[in-house]
Structure 1
Amino acid sequence: MSTTSPQEVDRVRAAVLDADHLVRALATGRRKGQPVPVVDGREVRRVELRVVDLKAGRHLQVTAYDATQAHTSNHAVGEQAAAAVDALLAQPFANWHVDTATETLQLRVTRKGAPLLHVSAREEAVEVSRGHDRAKDRLLREDDPVLVALGISDAQGRVKPSRQAKYRQVEEFVRLLDASLTEAIAQGHVRTPTADDPLRVVDLGCGNAYLTFAAHRFLTAPPEEGGRGLAVRMTGVDVKQQSADHNGSVAAGLGIDADFVVGSIADAELDRAPDVVLALHACDTATDDALARGIGWDAALVLAAPCCHHDIAAQLRATPAPEPYAVLTRHGILRERFADTLTDALRATLLRREGYRVDVVEFVESAHTPRNTLLRAVRTGGRSDDAAGEYAALVAAWGVRPRLGELLRRSPA
């Protein structure tokens, strides 16, 4: 943004630099036609700012996230902090979300570069926490009651050694949900929830509901505790009655108002269509079922982390590869890896065809799990003819029939 900033940008700048009242600020996304924002020489996806009290005095803490890591720097309140904020405002971020003790500011930069600002006052002022204990950048503390109830942490509030990978998965998934939801609300693709009309989130194939409870906890926790402070109605869907009974018991113990529906992903009935659809490691074509339900519901935001990809892999074994690409499927291990890539590429293309903007990202490092791909889809408008053509050409070339394509073809929509 230019040095002669519009009034809207000046107000956001002032709120971020108000060390007495800032709770948290987020800069996310990039403006259309602009390069990826760069912080300290690194391309970044999002930046989080908060005020911390260190031994050296009060500082503005800036945490920048690239594709795999978080990079934190601290800037003394005053000229140093102002310079850091000005440098961030100069980057082509598409959205700024600022929570203060008394209000929330949401700044969105349009395609033409015009800043649009929405300000909402809090009904009650919140207390600002400036402790440095969040420097490890955890959205859910190890001693959070939700993690203890789920068996990820022990009774002393420490993550169990055997559950470190699960903790990391849940933490990174919630982080992506946070960034995606912030951007989608700022751009007007997801409505701002209210107490009378809460954000409706469904977790398809929830199992023991690690994601359901973690997402609910983070989204509803007040900003002073590091959460979003949103009104949320959460629903988990799983085919097992045992899972529903167990999850209902956990929810009751935590005082969480959540529904758990017994049924398959394809057939589960909800009283109202959700705004957000989540699916973490739904196996093979169950991911296709989840994506099809999200599209059928016109969900504003879909986050799906696929699991195994047996369906397309089996089809590749039975169908000759187009020339000159036979080498991609000649060897078993290469065929399996290519099947993973082809499956998710087809899914992403179908989502684009149906009117979604799609990112395929790594949501947790492969050292923690090989199942680390995530499809992030935001509904933005009408169908894409370009994507339809790309999809048709791809399935014709490889002679495959993706499950998601079949489900959408059968859909009345």
Structure 2
Amino acid sequence: MSKPIHKSEELANVYVRQIELRGENHFQFLYRYKTNDQTKNYSFEESVEELTHLLSEKFRAVTLFTLENDLLVFISKKKKVSYKTTQPSFKNKLPETHDKPKEKRAKNSDYLYHLGVTDKEGKVIPKMADKYRQINKYLEIIEAQIQAVTLPEHINIVDMGSGKGYLTFALYDYLVNQKGYTASVTGIELRQNLVDYCNTIAKKCGFKGLLFVAQPIQEYDSNKIDILIALHACDTATDDAIYKGLVSKAALIICAPCCHKQIRQQVKGKEQESPLLKYGIFKERQFEMVTDTIRALILEKNNYTTKVFEFISNEHTRKNVMLIGAKSSKKIDKKRIETKISDLKNSYQIEEHYLETLL
């Protein structure tokens, strides 16, 4: 429906499509207002009533899309109705699903059961629902990033700060068992008990190319890392991980930084001009952003295209920023980036960023 009768009308258009809801046919009405959209579902009888109301009180024109042709209906000020047919806009019928189903990339695999995400029947345990959502979101992000870079036939992936291994196992299973990539995945974790636990599960699941190693990130030595992952590596451990990826010239560097202390400790006691930094909670968040912005700029300086975005919703964790660097062959203006870093540090009276000292 289009051409509102009243020019001041906030409702600009209404789009209607047939859907299946709880096994019955309904019609979904999308009300497109100037400032927002609203959706309502009606039965057939309710839809006839709503359409009658909209076409007599709200709109002067409506288009009915069919696979044979489009039927255009015009209603004059005197309520005179005229019709016109044109070539069909659609070749295929629209899907009748109420919502587009989200693809579950973490299938009912053994590792989900052994890690306590699902029960023996493969059903997600209620208290692990958030973790399961996080795993699927993570795999969705990884899939998109891998498709955007050039990788060797055999991919070496290192997950630094792998913890209990939820995402490490999910990544290996998805890439190797579902997508058919040839890949080796190594999880680096300080706690020996977690490393033993994860290696036992990897063996039970038959994940031959998945290995967990107990050692500090700084001590890990690899000649070649194609994909470097560091999710929630605490404070400067994120920088240690990024540094390893830069030295190895990794095609992808993916991190979700956590516990930004280094810069905050460095500027403690220094008077800041910005009124944003008057309050402790704002100061903490501001310096988190400054820390990660400098990390992104350092990646750009080293020929990486960077992205910073929300990893998972704030309702699950406030540490939800993901920083991704993809190796690029484009020419860059290093001096311009260095100036940006320098200006940012001067603005907040920062002496040095830990990642800079590593490099």
CA contact (8 A) 1:261 1:268 kept: no
Structure 1 segments of 4+ aligned residues over 3 angstroms from their partners = 79-84, 381-384
Where does the alignment leave 5 or more consecutive residues of structure 1 unmatched? 1-54, 56-75, 85-133, 185-189, 222-226, 409-413
Q: In the alignment, which of 261, 264, 268 is matched to residue 220 of structure 2?
A: 268
Q: Deviations over 1:235-291 (max 9, x none)?
A: 111122222211111110000012222211111123x41100111111111111111
Of 290, 293, 296 in structure 1, the residue corresponding to residue 244 of structure 2 is: 293
Q: 2:174 aligns with which of 186, 196, 218?
A: 218
Offset at residue 149 of structure 1 (A): 1.7
RMSD: 2.5
Query: Offset at 1:360?
Result: 0.1
Aligned to 2:159, which of 182, 185, 203?
203
1:259 matched to which residue of 2?
Answer: 211
Q: Give the AA of the match of 2:219.
A: D
1:197-251, Cα deviation, whole Å (9 max, x unpaired): x111110011111111100111113xxxxx3221111111112222221111111
Alignment of structure 1 residues 45-84 onto 2, 5 Å: 80=90
Looking at both structures, which has the greater relative contact order when contacts are Cα pairs under 8 Å and sequence separation is at least 6?
1
Distance verdict in 2 for CA 1:83–1:277, change over 3 Å: farther
How many residue pairs get matched?
Answer: 267
Q: Separation in 2 of the partners of 1:154 and 1:316?
A: 48
Secondary structure, aligned partner of 1:306: strand
Contact 1:168–1:368 (Cα < 8 Å) also in 2: no
> Structure 1's 406 and 369: CA in aligned 2 closer, same or farther, altered over 3 A?
same
Alignment of 1:307 with 2:255, yes or no, is no
Q: What whole-Å deviation, never above 9, does each CA across 1:335-370 have from its counterpart, x for those lacking one?
A: 011111111111111111111000001111112221
C-alpha spacing 1:347/1:162, structure 2 compared with 1 (3 Å): same
Task: State which of 370, 374, 396 in structure 1 corresponds to 2:346.
Answer: 396
TM-score by length of 1: 0.60
Q: 1:138 to 1:234 in 2, by over 3 A?
A: same
State the SS of the aligned residue for 2:103: coil
> What percentage of aligned pairs have identical amino acids?
30
CA drift at 1:315: 2.5
What is the aligned counterpart of 2:311 among 357, 363, 380? 363
Amino acid at match of 1:261: V
Among candidates 289, 295, 298, match of residue 341 of structure 1: 289
- The 3-state SS of whatever aligns with 1:281 is strand
Question: 1:390: how far off?
Answer: 0.7
Equivalent-residue separation in structure 1 for 2:281 and 2:105 (angstroms): 37
**Aligned equivalents of 2:258 and 2:227: distance in 1?**
20
Identify unmatched segments of 5+ residues in structure 2. Answer: 1-22, 24-66, 68-88, 95-99
8 Å Cα contact 1:201/1:276 also seen in 2: yes
Distance 1:380 1:342 in 2: 24
Structure whose CA Rg is larger: 2
TM-score relative to the length of structure 2: 0.69
CA shift for structure 1 position 83: 10
1:25-64 equivalences under 5 Å are none
Residue pair 1:316, 1:329 contacting (<8 A) in 2 also: no
Contact 1:317–1:329 (CA<8 Å) still a contact in 2? no
2:119 corresponds to which residue? 154
Distance 1:182 1:397, change over 3 A: same
1:177 corresponds in structure 2 to 142
C-alpha distance in structure 2 between counterparts of 1:403 and 1:306, whole Å: 14
Looking at structure 1, the residues matched to 312 and 323 of structure 2 have their Cα atoms a distance apart, in angstroms, of 13
Q: 2: distance between equivalents of 1:148 and 1:384?
A: 49
Distance of 2:152 and 2:249 partners within structure 1: 17
Shift in CA distance, 156/284, structure 1 to aligned 2, threshold 3 Å: same
8 A contact 2:106–2:135 mirrored in 1? no
The one-letter code matched in structure 2 to 1:354 is N
Aligned partners of 1:204 and 1:384: how far apart in 2? 30
Q: Which residue does 2:357 correspond to in 1?
A: 406
Structure 1 counterpart of 2:324: 376
8 Å CA contact retained: 1:138, 1:171: yes
Q: CA deviation at 1:383?
A: 5.6
Alignment check: 8 A CA contact 2:139 2:174 kept = yes
Structure 1 CA distance, aligned partners of 2:325 and 2:156? 16
Q: Indicate conservation of the 8 Å contact 1:262/1:268, yes or no.
A: no
Kindly provide the amino acid, as one letter, of the partner of residue 371 in structure 1: K
Instruction: Give 3-state SS (helix, strand or coil) of 2:148's partner.
Output: helix
1:82 shift after superposition? 7.1
Aligned amino acid, residue 217 of structure 2: I
Q: Which of 145, 156, 161 is the matching residue for 2:110?
A: 145
